[in-house]
Amino acid sequence: MFDLDQLLGRASLKERIDELEDENERLRERYEAEADRRAEATTAKQEADREINRLEDRIAQLEGELERTREDEAGPAFRRRDRIRGAELDAVLDRLESVRTGPEGALTAVFADGDDLRSLEDGDIDSILGDRLTLLEDATPCLCCLDDAGLVAVALEPPVRPALDPAWDDRFRLEREWFRPTGRHVLALVRTDVFAVGVYDGDERIDYRGFESDVKGSHSKGGFSQARFERIRDEQIDDHLERAADALASTLADVEEGRLFLTGQRGVLETLAEESGLEPDATAAVDATGDPESALADARRSFWTTDLYVL
């Protein structure tokens, strides 16, 4: 009996169809397995992303806690710390002078280095400032303006430090002459090799004298011995200070009244004041260099600058 499929050539086609169906089944199984792996990979990635986000949030939280811990360990910080002069200084003084309180609600006090602020007879300062009292200690020497509500707490280091006992009033006690050049005054700059002095009426300079002296610089290994070099240099500085004292005395003789301010290298200006018998109204160490006239201008700008601390 003949097989009709074989006669018609369909047997091989059926075999091929069976083979293709088997291949298709294998491919479908392979695809399904790959799809499962991709789904698992997608799920794993999503879980990893969620874990990364969670860890990043935790890191941010810990960093915040660390920053707060550092701030707590460091203690309170100044809300503002600046050096001001001119119009900016005038604006700050105007603002402080405009404050009005009750009869004894505004304290103006001058504190010097070494003052024990925690043992003051007036304990209101400690109770008002609390832990900010350490900032006031850091700002000394200074002039302090403090109101009884703690809304205004400012320390100033003016060019001219007044002799002022702590006093409570209905306003802050501030004088412009502590901060700004007012009236007739003399300001001198003295360094080991430069001297300059100006006479001023307020902001206007009305007289000037200045000179430079030949003073040896740092010692080199050749030539002079160290001892001889230092002796010669000291003699040159002494001559320079003697000329400076004469020039300053001549200037002061021409000025009938007014305040005297000395600036320059700390040890040098103190020596000049002592040897000349002068009692300046204020002194300041300044870093002013260049020719005498420009150095005096720099010294004057630096001198009439106030350190401001907002507690």
Tell me the residue length of the chain.
311
Task: Check residue 216 and give its pLDDT.
Answer: 56
Phi, psi of 36 (to 5 degrees): -65, -40
CA dist., res. 115 & res. 87, Å (int): 32
Q: In what order do the strands lie in the sheet with 306-310?
A: 80-84, 306-310, 153-157, 142-147, 106-111, 167-169
Provide, rounded to the nearest whole percent, the portion of the chain with pLDDT above 90: 41
Span 55-80, mean pLDDT? 77
Most confidently modeled range among 48-52, 53-57, 157-161? 157-161
Burial of 46 (0-12, 13-18, 19+ CB in 10 A): exposed
Task: Check residue 304 and give its pLDDT.
Answer: 96
Task: Check residue 155 and give its pLDDT.
Answer: 95
232 or 130: which carries more pLDDT confidence?
A: 130
How far does CA 14 lie from the centroid of its chain?
Answer: 92
Give the pair of three-digit tokens for residue 283. 């002194």
CA dist., res. 42 & res. 36, Å (int): 10
**Which pLDDT tens digit goes with each residue over 161-217?**
898 888 899 999 999 999 999 999 999 999 988 999 999 999 999 999 999 887 756
CA angle, 88 as apex, 208 and 179 as ends, to 5°? 55
Span 128-156, mean pLDDT? 91
CA dist., res. 162 & res. 6, Å (int): 126
pTM (2 decimals)? 0.71
Task: Name the least confident of 58-72, 170-184, 292-306.
Answer: 58-72
- Reported as a pLDDT band with limits 50, 70 and 90, residue 70 is low
Most confidently modeled range among 15-24, 89-98, 263-272? 89-98
CATH number of 184-303, picked from 3.30.1320.10, 3.30.420.60, 3.40.1690.10, 3.20.20.190: 3.30.420.60
- Reported as a pLDDT band with limits 50, 70 and 90, residue 219 is very low
Distance between first and last Cα of the chain:
116
Count the Cβ atoms, other than its own, within 10 Å of residue 1.
Answer: 3
- Reported as a pLDDT band with limits 50, 70 and 90, residue 9 is low
Task: Name the least confident of 10-19, 79-88, 137-146, 204-213.
Answer: 10-19
Q: In what order do the strands lie in the sheet with 194-201?
A: 204-212, 194-201, 184-190, 259-264, 282-285
CA angle, 189 as apex, 184 and 190 as ends, to 5°? 140
Range 233-236, long-range pairs (CB < 8 A, 24+ positions)? none
